[in-house]
Amino acid sequence: MTSLNDLPLRADLVGKQPYGAPQDFVSITLNVNENTHELPDEIVDDITRQLRDAVKTANRYPDREFTELREKLAEFLGHGLTAENIWAANGSNEVLQQILQAFGGPGRTLLSFTPTYSMYPLLASATGTGWIAVPRPEDFVLTAEYVASKIREANPSIVVLCSPNNPTGTPLDKAVIEAAYDAFDGMLIVDEAYIEFAPEDRTALDLLQSRPRLLISRTMSKAFAFAGVRIGYLAANPVAVDALRLVRLPYHLSVLTQAAGVAALGHNKEMLSTVAEITRQRERIEARLAELGYEVHPTESNFVLFGGVKDPKATFEALRSKGILIRDVGIPNHLRVTAGTESETTAFLNAMAELG
């Protein structure tokens, strides 16, 4: 039997662990912040029709520039953006990887404020980019002064700010983004994977004008209920978008992905119609967990990080044995749960109450 140690793996990858949120097929899956509502049948039918037309062209390579998808995404985002401002890939993780391929790499660094999205250090490692983790203050809230001083001190090639932050849910003030941008000459990524759950004026899209080093990453995986299709996208200055063309694989978005994305965006209001309901369920979780004596962190996302858990592994396993999967994100005495449908949320809260 050959083990990985017998293969000539890149030295900087030896001993690394792959990304691995458990994929249990339990009945209630509240561990990776998906939108747990299924798509309405009418939308499924319309997407299917458009996919059928796309399959007919499958003997040819797809539009390498996925022009229609970019136009639809620009229209959806508004803020005066056009297709030239838009880029997309198979999930925003791929977008982030392309940014690191273009602007990171050996001898360069990526800085972020931890705890934050666990993929950032993995993407850095995969692209040979150095990883600088700056701890957040105790309440996880970033201030303009703190962020600017840490960035100035480290002078990284790239900074990524997650807004709102995963796994803490913490909102990010626009003043922090402006201060971060002005504190260095590198690329600033704002990861807005959960921005649809935050108040409307939180988005950094209106900061793009006159900030060519600002990259705003979005995804259809969360609020948009489209995680399985794998579409993430970016809004940026057209020049920054050009940089990603240097590193993307040719035809990286399949004809099926492009068609599904265009079709779904044609229903964007309905696709996003569960956001208000999910936010209500999140507020239920916040209120009830506080009642049960847990320390609930302020959140503007579709998930809640809570502390005061004596033994996170035991609580995680107790819930799992009831068919409920949540997330141990490795913060001592904390767990994270995604707001699900009303009945999923009720099942989680009842189980938590029983655990006492």
Ligand X SMILES: *Cc1c(COP(=O)(O)O)cnc(C)c1O
Using CB under 6 A, which residues numbered 190 to 229 contact ligand X? Answer: 191, 193, 219, 221-222, 227
Q: How far is the CB of 262 from ligand X (least distance, A)?
A: 17
Q: How far apart are the C-alpha atoms of 35 and 276, rounded to whole Å?
A: 12
**# chain residues binding ligand X, by CB under 6 A:** 14
Per residue, what are the HEC states of the chain?
CCCHHHCCCCHHHCCCCCCCCCCCCCCEECCCCCCCCCCCHHHHHHHHHHHHHHHHCCCCCCCCCCHHHHHHHHHHHCCCCCHHHEEEECCHHHHHHHHHHHHCCCCCEEEEEECCCCHHHHHHHHCCCEEEEEECCCCCCCCHHHHHHHHHHHCCCEEEEECCCCCCCCCCCHHHHHHHHHCCCCEEEEECCCHHHCCHHHCCHHHCCCCCCEEEEEECCCCCCCHHHCCEEEEECHHHHHHHHCCCCCCCCCHHHHHHHHHHHCCHHHHCCCHHHHHHHHHHHHHHHHHCCCEECCCCCCEEEEECCCCHHHHHHHHHHCCEECECCCCCCCEEEECCCHHHHHHHHHHHHHHC
Is 158 or 162 the residue whose CB approaches ligand X more closely?
162
Structure token digits, residue 197? 């759950």
Stretch that binds ligand X, among 77-85, 88-96, 196-204, 241-249 (CB under 6 A): 88-96
Stretch that binds ligand X, among 91-99, 243-251, 258-266, 316-324 (CB under 6 A): 91-99
Q: How far is the CB of 331 from ligand X (least distance, A)?
A: 15
Q: How far is the CB of 261 from ligand X (least distance, A)?
A: 12
Using CB under 6 A, which residues numbered 25 to 44 contact ligand X? Answer: 33
Is 96 or 285 the residue whose CB approaches ligand X more closely?
96
Q: Does 91 bind ligand X (CB under 6 A)?
A: yes
Q: Does 92 bind ligand X (CB under 6 A)?
A: yes
Q: Give the residue at shortest CB distance from ligand X.
A: 91
Q: How far apart are the C-alpha atoms of 235 and 203, rounded to whole Å?
A: 11
Is 87 or 117 the residue whose CB approaches ligand X more closely?
117
Stretch that binds ligand X, among 85-93, 169-177, 254-262, 311-319 (CB under 6 A): 85-93
Is 26 or 32 the residue whose CB approaches ligand X more closely?
32
Q: How far is the CB of 349 from ligand X (least distance, A)?
A: 23
Q: Measured in whole angstroms, how far is the alpha carbon of residue 339 from the centre of its chain?
A: 16
Q: How far apart are the C-alpha atoms of 62 and 74, rounded to whole Å?
A: 20
Instruction: Find the binder of ligand X among 29, 85, 93, 338 (CB under 6 A).
Output: 93
| Cα R_g (the chain), whole angstroms | 21
Instruction: Find the binder of ligand X among 47, 162, 255, 352 (CB under 6 A).
Output: 162
Q: How far is the CB of 232 from ligand X (least distance, A)?
A: 4
Q: Does 232 bind ligand X (CB under 6 A)?
A: yes
Q: Does 166 bind ligand X (CB under 6 A)?
A: yes
Q: How far apart are the C-alpha atoms of 181 and 322, rounded to whole Å?
A: 46
Q: Measured in whole angstroms, how far is the alpha carbon of residue 156 from the centre of its chain?
A: 22
Stretch that binds ligand X, among 11-19, 89-97, 256-264, 335-343 (CB under 6 A): 89-97
Q: How far is the CB of 93 from ligand X (least distance, A)?
A: 4
Q: How far is the CB of 217 from ligand X (least distance, A)?
A: 7
Q: How far is the CB of 69 from ligand X (least distance, A)?
A: 14
Q: How far is the CB of 234 from ligand X (least distance, A)?
A: 11
Is 221 or 274 the residue whose CB approaches ligand X more closely?
221
Is 33 or 237 the residue whose CB approaches ligand X more closely?
33
Structure token digits, residue 236? 């940026």
Residue ranges in contact with ligand X by CB under 6 A:
33, 91-93, 117, 162, 166, 191, 193, 219, 221-222, 227, 232
